[in-house]
Amino acid sequence: MTLTLSDVDSTDRPDPTEPGESTEAGPRAERPRRRSFTAEYKARILAEYDAAPRGQRGAILRREGLYDTHLIHWRKAAAAGAADALSPRRADPRDKEIAELRARAERAEADLDRTRTALDIVGKAHELLEKLSESTGTPKPPRS
C-alpha cells in the first residue's frame, strides 16, 4: 500500500506560517546554515582555550559548539602571517568591477589594434592601385 499526503493527518505537520517555521519545501529546508566567525571572536576563543587548564578545554569547545579542528585551522591561518587570517573572507564588489573594466579595456585595445592594421592595409592597397593605374597610363578620376 502506498501512503500519500492525503492519508497523513494534517495535524501532525507543523504550520509553516507560524513564527520560526520554515516556509521552504524539500529535504534541505531544515538544514543548518554555515557559521562565520569574526576575528575578535576567534582571537578571544583561542586565548581562552590556551589559558584554560587541560581538563576544562573541552568544556569551552562544547559551550561554544566548536571542534578542535576549528582551533587548528585558526592557528594555522594566524601562523601563516596573513594580516586578515582570522577574519572571514568576503569578496569586495569593487574588485569584480575592476576586473571587468580591465577586461573591457583589453578588448578595446585589441579592437583598436585590429582597426589600425585594417586601415594600414587599406592604405597600402590604395597606394598600390594608384601606382598600377599610373603605369598603365589610365587617367585618374577627378576627386570631388
- Nearest-5° angle of CA 45, CA 88, CA 103? 165
Instruction: For helices 39-51 and 68-79, give the axis angle rounded to 10 degrees.
Output: 110
Question: Per-domain residue ranges for the chain?
Answer: 35-88, 91-138
Return all residues near 78 (Cβ < 8 A) that are at least 6 apart. Answer: 46, 85, 86
Give residue 141's pLDDT. Answer: 67
Return all residues near 133 (Cβ < 8 A) that are at least 6 apart. Answer: 140
Give residue 144's pLDDT. Answer: 66
Give residue 127's pLDDT. Answer: 93
- The pLDDT tens digits of the residues spanning 108-118 come to 999 999 999 99
- The pLDDT tens digits of the residues spanning 27-77 come to 666 788 888 888 889 889 999 999 999 889 999 999 999 999 999 998 888
- Average of pLDDT values for 108-131? 95
pTM of the model: 0.38
Q: What SS3 class is residue 4? A: coil
Provide the percentage of residues in the chain whose pLDDT is more than 90. Answer: 40
